[in-house]
Amino acid sequence: MALKSRAAKVRKKQLARKRKLAAGKNKLSTKNNLIAYSFILPNFLGFAVFTLVPMLFSFVLSLAKWNGVGMPQFVGITNFTRLFRDEAFTRALLNTFVYTIFTVPFTMAAALGLAILLNSKIKGRNFFRTISFFPYVASLVAVATVWRFIFSPTVGPINLFLSSVLHIKNVPMWTSVSAPAMFFVVFFSIWKNMGYYMVIYLAGLQGVNAELYESAALDGANGRQKFWNVTLPQIAPTSFFVLMMLIISSFKVYDIFLNLFAGGDNQLTSITRVIVYQIYNTAFRGLDYGYASAMSMILFAVVLGVTLVQFHGEKTYGQQGGES
């Protein structure tokens, strides 16, 4: 009996010790969670106040008619059906698609070419990397003003060269005719942004295993074959990330068009309007917040679709990386 009572006491002490350890771990876990949430909370509050709530409010407004005064009037899907009959919106959407189709591949090609060149061992490599990145960090207003002067139809050096040296009579109207204007803004966007994506590509290139190039050289591969069979497959996740980021930023473009083409009244003509400008113009000039919100929901759907594709692609590349 004495042995049994002693064993029972030992078991009770062990259980008490385990409960005490468990309680201590729970307190520590709760404390760590509270610390983590305290760091997350300021950022989440900012996101909720300035992004989440306005986004939900915009969705509600897309189903209503409201000019900013009084109570919104519910109109159902009228704003959305109106979109497809609105020539100004369809033209802005078309301009955005055309801009995206031309900007994305050429920016990727320019950034990758720069990255490959500046990843090689050349003299003054760091200097040229800095120069290539400079347009991205330079003031958009300042560089847009310089470019507007360079491509000015009347006094710009480009048109003066075309007319006086090459004797071209009908010089392009870079800022007032549809095709030259789109070429102008696409060329500017590539020059402005390729330095940023060059840095991303440089990071991807420096992660390529050098042994793969050595193996390819032993197999007799030349530079072009190494590029197609080693470099491109190895930086495919980087290229996919750059592609998604470029598509999203191209659909949200606004400031570039405004700084390059806006006149004294800060307005864009139909040939240079993009969807974000159309949303802004409808909401803050036309005071039709419900209709502008419906436009923003279309833009949101496009960006959301691209983002979902990006998440799926990153998951796929992550699985491939884990298997290799």
Best CATH choice for the domain 80-323 from the list 3.90.380.10, 3.30.56.10, 3.40.50.2300, 1.10.3720.10: 1.10.3720.10
Could you please report the per-residue DSSP string of 83-112?
Answer: HTT-HHHHHHHHHHHHHHHHHHHHHHHHHH
Q: Check: CB of residue 151 under 8 Å from CB of residue 174.
A: yes
**SS3 annotation, 7-66:** HHHHHHHHHHHHHHHHHHHHHHHHHHHHHHHHHHHHHHHHHHHHHHHHHHHHHHHCCEEC
Q: Check: CB of residue 199 under 8 Å from CB of residue 133.
A: yes
Structure tokens at 72: 């919104």
Amino acid 85 reads R
Per-residue pLDDT of the chain (324 residues; tens, 9 = 90+): 555 565 555 566 666 666 665 555 666 677 777 888 888 888 888 888 888 888 888 899 999 998 888 888 888 888 999 988 889 899 999 999 999 999 999 999 999 999 998 888 888 888 888 888 999 999 999 999 898 888 887 878 888 888 887 777 787 787 776 678 888 899 999 999 999 999 999 998 888 888 888 888 887 888 788 888 888 888 888 998 899 899 989 998 988 998 888 776 667 877 888 999 999 999 888 889 999 999 999 999 988 888 888 777 767 665 554 455
CA distance linking residue 273 with residue 289, whole number of Å:
18
Query: Is the pTM above the cut of 0.75?
Result: yes
Beta bridge partners of 64: 74
The domains of the chain are located at 2-52, 80-323
**Long-range contacts formed by 22-28: CB under 8 A, 24+ apart:** none
